[in-house]
Amino acid sequence: MYADRANKNSIEASFDRPFVTAILGPRRVGKTVFVHHYSEKHPHYMWVFLNMDDLVQRMRIENRELVDLIQETAKNSIGGENKIWVVIDEAQKCPDIFDSVKILYDKYKDQNKIKFILTGSAVLSLHRMSAETLAGRIELYHLQEFTLQESVSLKEKSFPRISLLDHISEVDGPIRIKEIIQKLKPYKPLLEKELLFHLQWGGFPELLSCQADEEKLTYLNNYIQTYLEKDVRAIETVTNLTLYRHLMEIAAEQTGSVREEKAIVDSLGCTRDTLKKYRGFLAATLLYRDIYPYISNPLNRLVKSPKGYLVNNGLVSALTGIFQLPVLTKSGLIGHRLENWFLNELSVWLAREPLRSEIYFWRKQSGLEVDFVVEKKPIVIPFEVTHNTTIDNKKKRNLQNFLSNEPKAKWGYYIYRGEFSIDEEHKICFIPAWAIG
């Protein structure tokens, strides 16, 4: 299932540069599909596809046979008349491959004879890999689960891919946002329906074609089992898969909440060091993310408790057993699901931006809180996210308080299920969630 991804242009531009291109993201988000689609558009290129899930290929690379493997598959010599495009899936599963890629890259980088494209479902430092091996030689990109607009574009070919978030940091951002929402209005029913799906089931591409709830839960449970058996079991220092799965369940239950380390340690019955190590692997395999508090003094950021997010709502549904919309709404859990979905939308948006940016949350001891604060130097953008259809004055005051205390923030954004409006006096823009993208 293919849909043009939000950061397609930046990734494909990297393909045209001589550096090694690495595309990272959780398993089954479409990394391989993306590269294969690109190869189909360029059939005249000489392609070699390798997969580190293949034990034979992995063993040959461990025996320093990458050159032989490439030339046998391409039926051509490296450095010959034709440039060879080498795609290596699940690269993180073969640590030896990075030294081999480095040697070939350095040998042919000035001749434009070989291009490496790596994909992986874990950060490159996992499985004893040295991040320094390809330092200065690699460009890193990320693919997430489908965004709301990516999902809708699969069902409605005429859907205009207009990113509201791309204009949110502009001086006249609210005016541009109003124009975009008007253009999206004809698609509002489809966007609202798809948003509900994302709150229940997330945006894994293959899941979008599942029909019955039982089929979706089967897919997600198989995903979890495959992840544990293939990805986690391959990590030598993870010795207790039952404990690891229990940690995933806790992360799902507490998604969007401030972490309470002691309570988690007591529930797992493990040491703090084991908890830290296992949660680090959960983050390294790109299924979990910590969001830290925004504090003006950067030196203080790391000493505060973060909020934790298991980043896919479908996995949250499968691990908690709570997926029915009436139950989610009545329990109030739907608000955390909306936050989780919006975090993915923010992450995809920022992945398109060349400048470094960070996502935080803001909280004061008095109870004032803003769900997300995006720092895109030199500006800061606060977001309040709620499932309500009306404006909650308390949440609005939270934004006002943040804006009054942070001169780098020019506008605040209130994401909810109501209508678009602009509060010029307090510099707050109210945006319907279905229009985000």
Same domain, 122 and 212: no
- Rounded Cα distance between 76 and 45, Å, is 12
- Rounded Cα distance between 294 and 403, Å, is 13
Residue 30's SS3 state is coil
* Single-letter amino acid code for the residue at 147: T
Same domain, 182 and 93: no
Same domain, 312 and 265: yes
- Rounded Cα distance between 431 and 181, Å, is 9
* Single-letter amino acid code for the residue at 436: I
Look up residue 21 and give its DSSP letter: E
Residue 50's SS3 state is strand
Residue 391's SS3 state is coil
Would 331 be classed as within a structural domain? yes
Would 233 be classed as within a structural domain? yes
The pLDDT of residue 327: 97
Cα distances from 279 to residues 93, 238, 251, 273, 309, in angstroms, run 19, 11, 9, 10, 11
Would 398 be classed as within a structural domain? yes
The pLDDT of residue 129: 52
Alpha helices in 302-406 (DSSP H): 313-320, 325-331, 334-351, 393-405
- Rounded Cα distance between 224 and 424, Å, is 47
Same domain, 182 and 165: yes
Decide which of 120, 143, 166 is a domain's last residue: 143
Provide the 10 A C-beta neighbour count for residue 211.
7
Would 1 be classed as within a structural domain? no
Would 3 be classed as within a structural domain? no
Look up residue 242 and give its DSSP letter: H
Segment holding 363, helix H or strand E:
strand 358-363
Cis peptide, bond prior to residue 378, ω within 30 of zero: yes
Q: Name residues whose C-beta falls within 8 Å of residue 287's C-beta, 6 or more positions apart in sequence.
A: 26, 227, 248, 310, 311, 312, 315
- Rounded Cα distance between 208 and 198, Å, is 9
- Rounded Cα distance between 248 and 137, Å, is 34
Cα distances from 121 to residues 78, 96, 257, 367, in angstroms, run 28, 17, 25, 37
Per-residue pLDDT of the chain (437 residues; tens, 9 = 90+): 788 999 999 999 999 999 999 999 999 999 999 999 999 999 999 999 999 999 999 999 999 999 999 999 999 999 999 999 999 999 988 989 999 999 999 999 999 999 999 999 998 766 555 456 888 899 999 999 999 999 999 999 999 999 999 999 877 889 999 999 999 999 999 999 999 999 999 999 999 999 999 999 999 999 999 999 999 998 889 999 999 999 999 999 999 999 999 999 999 999 999 999 999 999 999 999 999 999 875 544 434 789 999 999 999 999 999 999 999 999 999 999 999 999 999 999 999 877 789 999 998 877 889 999 999 989 999 999 999 999 999 999 999 999 999 999 999 999 999 999 999 999 999 999 999 97
Nearest to 124 by CA among 270, 250, 22, 214: 22
Same domain, 127 and 221: no
Alpha helices in 7-65 (DSSP H): 8-15, 31-41, 55-62
The DSSP bridge partners found for residue 48 are: 86
Same domain, 394 and 307: yes
Decide which of 143, 159, 188 is a domain's last residue: 143
Domain range for 305: 150-435
Same domain, 75 and 15: yes
Same domain, 171 and 310: yes
The pLDDT of residue 366: 79
Phi-psi category of residue 202: left, alpha or beta, with phi > 0 → left and psi -120 to 50 → alpha:
left
The alpha carbons of the chain give a radius of gyration, in whole angstroms, of 23
The DSSP bridge partners found for residue 432 are: 416
Tokens representing 331 are 């329990």
Decide which of 143, 159, 178 is a domain's last residue: 143
Domain count across the chain:
2
Cis peptide, bond prior to residue 186, ω within 30 of zero: no
Nearest to 433 by CA among 356, 345, 347: 345
Q: What is the value of pTM for the model shown?
A: 0.94
Tokens representing 393 are 């004055």
Alpha helices in 131-271 (DSSP H): 148-155, 173-184, 188-201, 213-226, 241-253, 261-268
The pLDDT of residue 302: 39
Contact present, 47 and 87 (Cβ < 8 Å)? yes
Would 2 be classed as within a structural domain? no
Same domain, 255 and 369: yes
Would 42 be classed as within a structural domain? yes
Same domain, 166 and 110: no
Residue 28's SS3 state is coil
The pLDDT of residue 352: 86
Tokens representing 189 are 């029913």
The pLDDT of residue 297: 58
Same domain, 327 and 343: yes
Same domain, 423 and 330: yes
Look up residue 322 and give its DSSP letter: -
Strands 84-89 and 114-120: parallel
- Rounded Cα distance between 107 and 385, Å, is 51
Nearest to 134 by CA among 218, 260, 251, 20: 20
CATH number, domain with residue 107: 3.40.50.300
Tokens representing 376 are 């895109």
Would 72 be classed as within a structural domain? yes
